[in-house]
Amino acid sequence: TQLLEQSPQFLSIQEGENLTVYCNSSSVFSSLQWYRQEPGEGPVLLVTVVTGGEVKKLKRLTFQFGDARKDSSLHITAAQPGDTGLYLCAGAKLGSNYQLIWGAGTKLIIKP
Amino acid sequence: GAVVSQHPSWVICKSGTSVKIECRSLDFQATTMFWYRQFPKQSLMLMATSNEGSKATYEQGVEKDKFLINHASLTLSTLTVTSAHPEDSSFYICSARDRPGSTDTQYFGPGTRLTVL
């Protein structure tokens, strides 16, 4: 069974601090997506990383895909209250139908 | 681009009734759609994978006779919760991906909150 371990599951920090969320697996993924979800809404795609070692930046968010395509991280610089939400990582299984393996999610709260 | 809609956004029904949820890809053709269930403060749980024109593939533990999935066109998939009971109350989310050859990215609908009384 492919698993994707996401940590931390909960994080509450002050505005202006930096943070990193990790997703780790023993399995190789063809790609990995990061989503953000607000209560009562569907997940919204933030980024897709495909190449081992790839780094993508989205304003204050930096996403990295491990060289072996087994792990990924999300780093937020100078967090703001608007960053509050549930962050989910999901790895695409190698093979057909492109099913996603989901991390447990990180509930992030940024206090003003 | 890549917009997925769901209807209804919320529904309240009596126990024993059936509820149909629609998932539409608005600006692309989706050969594959996925149905998820999400409990409060938890991650998404895949229920089934739906391919256009063929029977859905259900995950272990998901009753196919209770959760009927139809993917009749490249832009529409429906999930029908038959004879709903309070334990079926949940947040149901669909997602869709582009034709083969595109990335593995799934685009999600806004979700449907089902409450069974």
Does residue B8 have a cis bond before it (omega within 30 degrees)?
Answer: yes
CB B65 within 8 A of CB B80: no
The percent of residues above 90 in pLDDT, for chain B, comes to 68
Q: Which residues contact A101 (CB under 8 A, 6 or more apart)?
A: A2, A3, A4, A25, A27, A29, A90, A91, A92, A93
Query: How confident is residue A96, by pLDDT bands cut at 50, 70 and 90?
Result: low
Would you state the pLDDT for residue A39? 87
Residue B102 — pLDDT band, cuts 50, 70, 90? low
Which one of A31, A44, A107 has the shortest CB-CB distance to B104?
A31
Q: What is the pLDDT of residues B6-40, one digit of tens each?
A: 999 999 999 999 999 999 999 888 888 999 999 88
Q: Do B110 and A30 touch (CB under 8 A)?
A: no
Contacts of B101 (CB under 8 A, 6+ apart): none
Task: Choose between A62 and A40: higher pLDDT.
Answer: A62
Average pLDDT over every residue of A67-80: 97
pLDDT at B52 over 70: yes
The average confidence (pLDDT) of chain A is 92
Query: What's the pLDDT score for residue B100?
Result: 57
Chain A touched by B57 (CB under 8 Å): yes
Q: Which amino acid, A1?
A: T
Q: What does the pLDDT look like over A47-58, one tens digit per residue?
A: 999 999 999 999
Chosen from B28, B42, B44 to mutate, greatest number of chain A CBs within 10 A: B44
Q: Which residues of A touch B46 (CB under 8 A)?
A: 99-100, 102
**Residues A89 and A31 sit within 8 Å (Cβ to Cβ):** no
Say if residue A93's pLDDT is above 60. Answer: yes
Q: Answer yes or no: is pLDDT of B65 > 60.
A: yes
pLDDT band at B41 (very low <50, low <70, confident <90, very high): confident
Residues of B in contact with A108 (CB under 8 A): none
Per-residue pLDDT, B108 = 92
- Give the model's pLDDT for residue B104: 63
What is the amino acid identity at position A63?
F
Give the per-residue pLDDT at B103.
61
Tell me what pLDDT residue A103 has.
93
